[in-house]
């Protein structure tokens, strides 16, 4: 790992947090509607995994996918405009928050039916293997998705045919409002992969470096022909399941405990009332990104001024994205019909 | 160059030709490989193209259909065989939520050259879980196309057209048609995939049908001629989109309409046909639009009851006579 990679990861985590908090604000002001599933708390997973991927790899994600798209390189403007339902959104306002797609960046979609990402991922993997290409597929899903039938069906086929798929479980401990011990007989998610002879490990998903290293190693094994791999990223979401969910089913003490290992340096953002203050965090121990930031500073890979600059830069990017989105026109019904019939070309139907 | 072959052979030939022409075409499903397919549609292809292009799958309809969706996103042309339409209920998420939605939800970024083939309909004493018709469910899904080949020629044409298309298409194949014989003329000028065809011209009434009941309707029409009723029989060939023009032209000529389907009558495929044509041809009709389809019950195992639960030549004849008798009132 080099200095620019560390910087990029830190900056992406800051951007992810800033983007999502602004999305929440725009939602409360009525500029974004529908279901909005936010990512704060889980940033280290998307950032670590996607920085370890190649541009030629394919990404399949869930309905909590804004940050996956952002880290993959989809412009903040384009995502925010999609959340606003505007024509300049990455899906022209047809998909919305839960259905971000970017063909150019091989971002193969956000899927909002729990358990859909596996079959899409093995399909991509199958096509890659059939054509004998070097790419891999990264398949995201939550702990709540491992009890769908498609999990077992797809892992079986991936292992049976040695497909180049990396399964990444974002275990945030909750399927909507039900805690993992109340929804899963086996709560160590990674152990389920053993049923399909698939190499699997549990990773501290609050530690971006560990996430990065584990992903890098797993992708290398896939490219060497070892077949599908499985990583369980243990993480936590600070907010409710969606903006319609206050998350009241979670014990306060649990939320606080995980905030203490917040992957982001919220300690440096005192104005944000949603998160513990710098003092409070200092009182219970350090948070991971603060450690990360300190580590980089000790190694002289970054200085405090640069961190502050990064924060300013990402806030500017998000502000620009909101301005762009609010000025983008609404799509027309013609645009919707064009999207529906996009594959018809010159084909004569009747 | 025309020859007489079985319906299943026409499908086999279509698949074989498309797989030869384009190496991104592959097929998958239960027993399609080594066993050659439960209705012999993929016979010989495993040996010819190998396991990656003719893939035997586990019994996992939801995921192997979804696999087809994923593969179709990156320029391959999967032909998924679901052993029977009844099992497709386990794959509806892949078909309805994924295949039919992704091109739209992505704002038109992705092609979806997916074909899903499903045998279905009432065969012979397969009982309620293996005798369903699900066209009504699929018709209500914007973004999905449905072809229902009746003849050997259509089986060959429509499968080839479906594979070449960039839109998701379901092919509903009636189980009792696989071993029916017909003429295949490979040199004939292809009919567009979703155009309806007048199988028998007539003057007095229009009978609209599709798949196996379109054959029964033609038989009934020969009997009707004996009774002095000239019936025009239209084979829809497609249930989404529907070729309304051909239907409306016929009704404008005959002024009487009977719709025959194997789907259950309540909210079945015929309900949409009847509603649309009643709207479009209200002032042309000399008698009420009539639907004749399967009884609204799960298909009984008992052979006598099974036969009585769905249209036969005799029951179509009776329904047609009823339409014409109402004219005299």
Give the structural domain span for A216: 3-335
A90 at the B interface (CB within 8 A)?
yes
For A234-258, letters b (16+ CB in 10 Å) and e give bbbbbbbbbbeeeeeebeeeeeeeb
Partners of A130 on chain B (C-beta within 8 Å) are: 26, 52-53, 71, 76
**CATH assignment at residue B37:** 3.40.50.970
Burial annotation B148-174 (CB, 10 A radius, 16+ → b, else e) = bbbbbbbbbbbbbbbbbbbbbbbbbbb
B57 touches chain A (CB under 8 A): yes
- Let me know if residue B226 belongs to a domain: yes
Tell how far CA A22 is from the center of its chain: 17
Distance of CA B322 to the CA centre of its chain: 27
For chain A, the distance separating the N- and C-terminal CA atoms, rounded to the nearest angstrom, is 58
Residue A114 lies in a domain: yes
Mean pLDDT along residues A105-127: 98
Verify that B256 and B323 share a domain, yes or no. Answer: yes
Q: Give the active site residues of B.
A: 61, 130
From the list A102, A116, A156, the residue facing B93 with the nearest CB is A116
CB contact under 8 A, A91 and B76: no
Answer yes or no: is pLDDT of A272 > 50. Answer: no
Residue A21 contacts residue A182 (beta carbons within 8 Å): no
- Band of pLDDT at residue A236, cut at 50, 70 and 90: confident
Task: Let me know if residue B103 belongs to a domain.
Answer: yes
| 8-state DSSP, B196 | -
Question: Is A231 domain-assigned?
Answer: yes
Residue B209: CATH number of its domain: 3.40.50.920
Which has more pLDDT, B198 or A292? B198
* Domain's final residue, options B185, B209, B238: B185
Confidence of residue A268 (pLDDT cuts 50, 70, 90): very low
Q: What is the pLDDT of residue A290?
A: 67
Residues 96 through 135 of chain A touching chain B, CB cutoff 8 Å: 99, 101-103, 108-109, 111, 113, 116, 118-131
pLDDT, tens digit, for every residue of B253-305?
999 999 999 999 999 999 999 999 999 999 999 999 999 999 999 999 999 99
Average pLDDT on A146-172 reads 98
* B97–chain A Cβ distance below 8 A for any pair: yes
The pLDDT, as a whole number, for residue A299 is 86
**Which of A123, A345, A350 faces B68 most closely, judged by CB atoms?**
A123
* A340 located within any domain: no
CATH, residue A312: 3.40.50.970
> Residue A32 — φ and ψ, nearest 5°?
-125, 140
**What's the structural domain count of chain B?**
2
Q: Could you give the CA distance from residue A45 to residue B31 in angstroms, rounded to a whole number?
A: 40
What's chain B's length in residues?
Answer: 329
Scan residues 149-178 of B and list those with Cβ closer than 8 Å to A. Answer: 165-167
Q: Over 90: is that where the pLDDT of A142 sits?
A: yes
Of the pLDDT bands very low, low, confident and very high (cuts 50, 70, 90), residue A266 is very low
Same domain flag for B8 and B69: yes
Q: How far apart are CA A69 and CA A106, in angstroms?
A: 10
Counting runs of H as helices and runs of E as strands, what totals does chain B give? 12, 14
Of residues A238 and A189, more confidence is placed in A189
* B162 and B57 within one domain: yes
Q: Which residue of A has its CA nearest to B99?
A: A120
Determine contact: A24 vs chain B, CB below 8 A: no
**Residue B141 forms part of a structural domain:** yes
Check if the beta carbon of residue A275 is closer than 8 Å to that of residue A266: yes
Closest partner CB to A347 (pick from B62, B108, B165): B165
Contact with chain A for residue B108, Cβ under 8 A: yes
Residues B40 and B156 in one domain: yes
3-state secondary structure of A1: coil
Select the residue of A89, A90, A101 nearest B110 (Cβ to Cβ). A101
- Tens-digit pLDDT profile for residues A63-88: 999 999 999 999 999 999 999 999 99
B258 near A CB under 8 A: no
Bigger pLDDT: A283 vs B214: B214
**Cβ separation A350–B76 shorter than 8 A:** no
B142 and B221, same domain (yes or no)? no
Question: What mean pLDDT is predicted for residues A148-175?
Answer: 97
Q: Structural domain tally of chain A?
A: 1
Structural domain includes residue B190: no
Neighboring chain A residues of B162 at a CB cutoff of 8 Å? none
The answer on B288 and B207 residing in a single domain is: yes
B16 and B104 belong to one structural domain: yes
Same domain, B149 and B253: no
A283-292, B58-67, B221-230, B311-320: least confidently modelled range: A283-292
Question: For residue range B94-150, what is the model confidence (pLDDT) as tens digits?
Answer: 999 999 999 999 999 999 999 999 999 999 999 999 999 999 999 999 999 999 999
Model pLDDT, residue B88 = 96
Q: Which domain holds residue B162?
A: 2-185
* The pLDDT of residue A273: 44
B321 class by beta-carbon count within 10 Å (0-12 exposed, 13-18 middle, 19+ buried): middle
Tell me what percent of the residues of chain A surpass a pLDDT of 70. Answer: 92
pLDDT beyond 90 at B328:
no
A62/B contact by beta carbon, under 8 A: no
- Nearest-by-Cβ selection for B26 from A102, A130, A342: A130
Domain finish residue from B156, B185, B214: B185
Best CA proximity match to A242, nearest among A37, A30, A21 = A37
Under the banding of pLDDT at 50, 70 and 90, the label for residue A238 is: confident
In this structure, is residue B84 part of a structural domain?
yes
- B138-195 pLDDT, tens per residue? 999 999 999 999 999 999 999 999 999 999 999 999 999 999 999 999 999 999 999 9
Q: Do A118 and B71 touch (CB under 8 A)?
A: no
- Indicate if B179 and B202 belong to the same structural domain: no
B147 lies within 8 A of chain A by CB: no
Please check whether residue A348 touches B, CB under 8 A.
yes
Contacts of A348 in chain B (CB under 8 A): 192
Residue B133 lies in a domain: yes
| Test the B interface: residue of A120, A151, A159, A330 with most B CBs within 10 Å | A120
Closest Cα in chain B, distance from residue A69 (Å): 13
Tell me the chain A residues in contact with residue B64 when contact means C-beta distances shorter than 8 Å: 119, 153, 157
**Helix A3-28 to helix A288-298 angle, to the nearest 10 degrees?**
150
Taking only the tens place, the pLDDT of each residue in A167-215 is 999 999 999 999 999 999 999 999 999 999 999 999 999 889 999 999 9
Which residues in chain B are contacts of A116 at CB distance < 8 A? 66, 93, 97-98
B192 lies in a domain?
A: no
Beta strand ranges found along chain B (DSSP E)? 2-6, 25-29, 54-56, 77-81, 115-120, 145-147, 169-174, 181-185, 197-200, 205-209, 231-235, 238-240, 257-264, 290-294
Chain A residues inside the 8 Å CB shell of B52: 129-130
Q: Work out the mean pLDDT of chain A and round it to a whole number.
A: 91
Mean pLDDT of chain B: 97
Residues B47, B129, single domain; the answer is yes
Nearest CA in chain B to A154: B63
The answer to whether residues B209 and B133 belong to one domain is no
Instruction: Please tell me the predicted confidence (pLDDT) of residue A288.
Output: 62
Domain boundary among B163, B185, B207: B185
pLDDT at A40: 87
Taking CA–CA distances from B146, the nearest residue in chain A reads A349
Confirm whether B191 is domain-assigned: no
Q: What's the start-to-end Cα distance of chain B, in Å?
A: 51
Contacts of A167 (CB under 8 A, 6+ apart): A118, A121, A139, A141, A155, A158, A193, A198, A228, A229, A230, A231
As a residue count, chain A comes to 350
Interface-testing mutation among A107, A115, A137, A153, with chain B (most B C-beta atoms within 10 A): A153
Instruction: Express as a percent the part of chain B with pLDDT over 90.
Output: 98
Instruction: State pTM to two decimals.
Output: 0.94
Residue A322, chain B, CB below 8 Å: the answer is no
* Judgement on whether residues B24 and B145 belong to the same structural domain of the protein: yes
């Amino acid at each position: 790992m080099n200095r620019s990679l560390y910087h990029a990861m830190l900056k992406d985590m800051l951007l992810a947090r800033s983007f999502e908090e602004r999305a929440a604000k725009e939602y409360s002001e009525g500029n974004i509607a529908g279901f909005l599933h936010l990512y704060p708390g889980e940033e280290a997973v998307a950032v670590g995994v996607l920085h370890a991927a190649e541009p030629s790899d394919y990404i399949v994600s869930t309905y909590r996918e804004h940050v996956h798209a952002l880290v993959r390189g989809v412009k903040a403007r384009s995502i925010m405009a999609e959340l606003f339902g505007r024509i300049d959104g990455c899906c022209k306002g047809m998909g919305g928050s839960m259905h971000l797609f970017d063909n150019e960046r091989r971002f193969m979609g956000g899927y909002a039916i729990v358990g859909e990402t596996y079959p899409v991922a093995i399909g991509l993997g199958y096509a890659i293997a059939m054509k004998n290409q070097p790419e891999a597929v990264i398949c995201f899903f939550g702990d709540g998705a491992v009890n769908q039938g498609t999990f077992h069906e797809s892992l079986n086929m991936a292992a049976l045919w040695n497909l180049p798929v990396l399964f990444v479980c974002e275990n945030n401990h909750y399927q909507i409002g039900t805690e993992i011990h109340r929804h899963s007989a086996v709560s160590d998610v990674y152990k389920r992969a053993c049923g399909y002879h698939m190499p699997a490990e549990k990773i501290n998903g609050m530690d971006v470096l560990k996430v990065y290293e584990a992903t890098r190693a797993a992708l290398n094994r896939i490219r060497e022909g070892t077949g599908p791999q499985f990583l369980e990223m243990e993480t936590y979401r600070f907010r409710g399941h969606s903006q319609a969910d206050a998350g009241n089913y979670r014990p306060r003490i649990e939320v606080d405990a995980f905030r203490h290992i917040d992957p982001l340096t919220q300690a440096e953002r005192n104005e944000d009332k949603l998160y513990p203050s710098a003092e409070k965090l200092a009182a219970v121990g350090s948070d991971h990104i603060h450690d990360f930031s300190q580590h980089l500073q000790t190694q002289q890979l970054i200085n405090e001024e640069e961190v502050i600059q990064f924060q300013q830069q990402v806030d500017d990017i998000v502000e620009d994205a909101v301005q762009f989105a609010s000025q983008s026109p609404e799509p027309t019904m013609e645009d919707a019909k064009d999207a529906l019939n996009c594959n018809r070309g010159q084909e004569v139907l009747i | 160059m025309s020859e007489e072959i079985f319906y299943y052979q026409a499908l086999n030939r279509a698949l074989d030709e498309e797989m030869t022409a384009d190496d991104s075409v592959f097929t998958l499903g239960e027993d399609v490989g080594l066993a050659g397919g439960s209705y012999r549609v993929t016979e010989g292809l495993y040996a010819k193209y190998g396991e990656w292009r003719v893939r035997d799958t586990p019994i996992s309809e939801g995921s192997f259909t979804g696999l087809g969706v994923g593969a179709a996103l990156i320029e391959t042309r999967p032909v998924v065989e679901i052993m029977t339409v009844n099992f497709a209920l386990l794959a509806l998420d892949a078909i309805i939520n994924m295949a039919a939605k992704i091109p739209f939800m992505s704002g038109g970024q992705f092609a979806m050259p997916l074909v899903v083939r499903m045998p279905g309909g009432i065969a012979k004493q397969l009982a309620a879980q293996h005798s369903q018709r699900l066209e009504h469910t699929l018709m209500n899904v914007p973004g999905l196309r449905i072809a229902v080949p009746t003849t050997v020629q259509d089986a060959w044409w429509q499968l080839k057209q479906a594979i070449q298309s960039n839109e998701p298409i379901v092919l509903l194949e009636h189980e009792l048609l696989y071993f029916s014989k017909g003429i295949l003329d490979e040199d004939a000028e292809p009919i567009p995939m979703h155009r309806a065809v007048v199988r028998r011209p007539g003057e007095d009434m229009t009978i609209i049908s599709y798949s196996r009941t379109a054959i029964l309707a033609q038989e009934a029409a020969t009997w009707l001629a004996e009774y002095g009723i000239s019936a025009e029989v239209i084979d829809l060939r497609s249930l989404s989109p529907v070729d309304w023009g051909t239907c409306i032209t016929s009704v404008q000529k005959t002024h009487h309409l009977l719709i025959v389907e194997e789907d259950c009558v309540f909210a079945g495929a015929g309900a949409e046909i009847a509603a649309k044509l009643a709207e479009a041809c209200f002032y042309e009709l000399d008698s009420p639009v009539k639907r004749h389809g399967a009884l609204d019950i799960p298909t009984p195992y008992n052979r006598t009851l099974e036969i009585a639960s769905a249209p036969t030549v005799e029951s179509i004849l009776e329904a047609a006579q009823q339409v014409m008798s109402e004219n005299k009132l």
